[in-house]
Amino acid sequence: ENAVLFIDEIHTVIGAGATSGGAMDASNLLKPALAGGKLRTMGSTTYKEFRQHFEKDRALARRFQKIDVNEPSVEDAVKILRGIKPYFEDHHSVKYTADAIRTSVELAHRYINDRKLPDSAIDVIDEAGAAQHLVAASKRRKTIGTKEVEAVVAKIARIPPKNVSKDDVIVLKDLEASLKRVVFGQDAAISALSSAIKLARAGLREPEKPIGNYLFAGPTGVGKTEVAKQLADTLGVELLRFDMSEYMEKHAVSRLIGAPPGYVGFDQGGMLTDGVDQHPHCVLLLDEMEKAHPDVYNILLQVMDHGKLTDHNGRTVDFRNVVLIMTSNAGASEQAKEAIGFGRDRRTGEDTAAIERTFTPEFRNRLDAVISFAPLPKEVIMRVVEKFVLQLEAQLMDRNVTIELSTKAAEWLGEKGYDAKMGARPLGRVIQEHIKKPLAEELLFGKLAKGGVVKVGVKKGELDLTILSAENPKLTGNKPPLLTAE
């Protein structure tokens, strides 16, 4: 008599039970009872299903009053979780602290964007309890605290835990020094980057912005791209690299965020939105930024300001845990010109005007910093030689070949490979020409087929390679001091 009928997923009654095109389905059978007031009914559905199915049956829709149930606030979600906490405690045989409940709601609200509260927070406490059953009985925790909840959210959202572990603290503390060990002569750029990472991880950056928005400007071959690669490597996160010379046309922006409705490729996702969705914590490198069409810059405005980008399906992708780095050669030609006046060996500041011409004011205004990379100074070229030779040795490690480079040979390579305008790339070509090419023959057919030692020296003003095969009794494993430095 006084019953209330609740129909979950009420959009499914439309067409349910209809026989071979007949109109007598469940929704039409309900209409007289609903109109007469004999049946007190509540139904639930989502916005999408309501619009696509339920709203199309106008006669049925007008018999119901539409009530929007919004996502609860953080405070309301905490109260909901306190209410259901005893059921999860009984099920998982654990106790949840009050801090764990609040933390699960706050972190789920901030980091788990594809689901709403309280559902996302319930999943967090459920998984935190279930995780205890996967460890040995002697190591199980009877009480779930903040630390366990943070670990679960970090796993679901694929981000580092908020209370960083000891290993993470060491990485962050030594971040600047680690980058300076592999990229030489660019201390200002590295200092700015490492400060931004520490600021974000300490929780002092604006919560809706990416970790950092940087434009690296400077001549070719001085380490702009290398800084981004080494940063991702040091932090242990994914590097997403987009070469912007592929986006020279206005319509190429659809490759980044997906094609709009009515266009070919609408069913496929955008490369940028899909990439960041799969790796929310990453270093995003947009290489050679000035080569892209100016309209492509416009999609980055909301990313740099609000940390969000909407793809062609209306799905919002979160960029708040991304380090955005753009590289550009704008202004490099101005800097390369001879300096005018006395006491100046190179131009400084001329690149700023070129950057202002290339990038619009609203784009530049959203950058945290435009970091100018200086041409590679001659003082660091020996360290670049050492780095390149160590990379070559790493490639030869599986073939059991080691390289012993004399100081004179390193100086010869530095002299031949140094070019202030072209950076470190000419040095790579010199090493390829004078060391790699002679070694290729020996590795395939000669003395190094089974491993050995290559001693690199200088004779009569030219590079001289002395090769000792693995069977040779004179084989020594001692390296000169140049390559034993950490």
The domain boundary residue, chosen from 356, 372, 388? 372
pLDDT tops 50 at residue 481: no
Contact 234, 171 (CB under 8 A): yes
Q: What is the pLDDT of residues 384-418, one digit of tens each?
A: 787 778 878 887 777 788 888 788 888 788 777 77
Contact 282, 276 (CB under 8 A): yes
Q: What is the pLDDT of residues 193-238, one digit of tens each?
A: 888 778 877 777 787 888 888 888 888 777 788 888 888 888 778 8
Q: What is the pLDDT of residue 379?
A: 73
The domain boundary residue, chosen from 136, 162, 188? 162
Q: What is the pLDDT of residue 284?
A: 92
Q: What is the pLDDT of residues 28-67, one digit of tens each?
A: 788 888 888 778 888 888 888 888 888 888 888 888 888 8
User: pLDDT confidence of 175, banded at 50, 70, 90?
Assistant: confident
**The two three-digit tokens of residue 236, written as one number:** 């242990």
Q: What's the sign of the alpha-carbon dihedral 27, 33, 37, 41?
A: negative
Q: What is the pLDDT of residue 336?
A: 53
338 and 409 share one domain:
no
Q: Is residue 438 part of a domain?
A: yes
pLDDT tops 50 at residue 483: no
Q: Is residue 82 part of a domain?
A: yes
User: pLDDT confidence of 10, banded at 50, 70, 90?
Assistant: confident
pLDDT tops 80 at residue 163: no
Q: What is the pLDDT of residues 348-372, one digit of tens each?
A: 555 677 788 888 888 888 888 888 8
> What integer is the mean pLDDT of 76-95?
89
424 and 471 share one domain:
yes
- Return the CATH number at 261: 3.40.50.300
Contact 465, 435 (CB under 8 A): yes
Beta strands in 412-451 (DSSP E): none
140 and 172 share one domain:
no
Q: Is residue 67 part of a domain?
A: no
Q: Is residue 360 part of a domain?
A: yes
- Separation CA 76–CA 91 (nearest Å): 23
For the chain, what percent of residues have pLDDT higher than 70?
87
Q: What is the pLDDT of residue 164?
A: 44
pLDDT tops 60 at residue 17: no
pLDDT averaged over the chain?
A: 79
**The two three-digit tokens of residue 35, written as one number:** 């109109």
- Separation CA 52–CA 41 (nearest Å): 21
> What integer is the mean pLDDT of 306-329?
86
Beta strands in 362-429 (DSSP E): 369-372, 401-405
User: pLDDT confidence of 177, banded at 50, 70, 90?
Assistant: confident
- 434: DSSP letter: I
Q: What is the pLDDT of residue 32?
A: 82
233 and 208 share one domain:
yes
User: pLDDT confidence of 337, banded at 50, 70, 90?
Assistant: low
Compute the chain's Rg from CA coordinates.
31
Vertex 224 angle, CA 223 and 230, to 5°: 75
236 and 309 share one domain:
yes
Q: What is the dihedral of CA 373, 377, 382, 386, to 10 degrees?
A: 10
Q: What is the pLDDT of residue 168?
A: 64
Q: What is the pLDDT of residue 485?
A: 41
Q: What is the pLDDT of residue 144?
A: 85
Q: Is residue 66 part of a domain?
A: no
- Length of the chain in residues, anyone? 486
Contact 382, 410 (CB under 8 A): yes
- Separation CA 353–CA 311 (nearest Å): 34
The domain boundary residue, chosen from 162, 181, 203? 162
User: pLDDT confidence of 23, banded at 50, 70, 90?
Assistant: low
Q: Is residue 119 part of a domain?
A: yes
Q: What is the pLDDT of residue 478?
A: 46
Secondary structure (DSSP) of 263-326? STTTTSPPHHHHHHHH-SSEEEEEESGGGS-HHHHHHHHHHHHHSEEE-TTS-EEE-TTEEEEE
Vertex 117 angle, CA 113 and 121, to 5°: 90
Contact 214, 231 (CB under 8 A): no
- Return the CATH number at 142: 1.10.8.60
Q: What's the sign of the alpha-carbon dihedral 48, 53, 57, 61?
A: negative
Domain count, the chain: 4
150 and 92 share one domain:
yes
Angle, helices 187-201/166-173, rounded to nearest 10 degrees: 150
86 and 151 share one domain:
yes
**Phi-psi region for residue 246, left (φ > 0), alpha (ψ -120 to 50) or beta?**
alpha
Contact 393, 402 (CB under 8 A): yes
205 and 173 share one domain:
yes
237 and 350 share one domain:
yes
Q: What is the pLDDT of residues 414-444, one digit of tens each?
A: 777 777 667 677 777 888 887 888 777 777 7
224 and 280 share one domain:
yes
54 and 81 share one domain:
no
pLDDT tops 60 at residue 187: yes
pTM of the predicted model as reported, rounded to 2 decimal places: 0.64
Contact 241, 257 (CB under 8 A): no
> What integer is the mean pLDDT of 173-185?
82
177 and 296 share one domain:
yes
Q: What is the pLDDT of residues 260-302, one digit of tens each?
A: 888 887 878 788 888 888 888 888 999 888 888 888 888 888 8
Q: What is the identity of the amino acid at 144?
A: I
Q: Is residue 69 part of a domain?
A: no
- Separation CA 376–CA 38 (nearest Å): 85
- What is the residue range of 453's domain? 378-484
Q: What is the pLDDT of residue 342?
A: 52
Q: Is residue 220 part of a domain?
A: yes
- Separation CA 105–CA 102 (nearest Å): 5
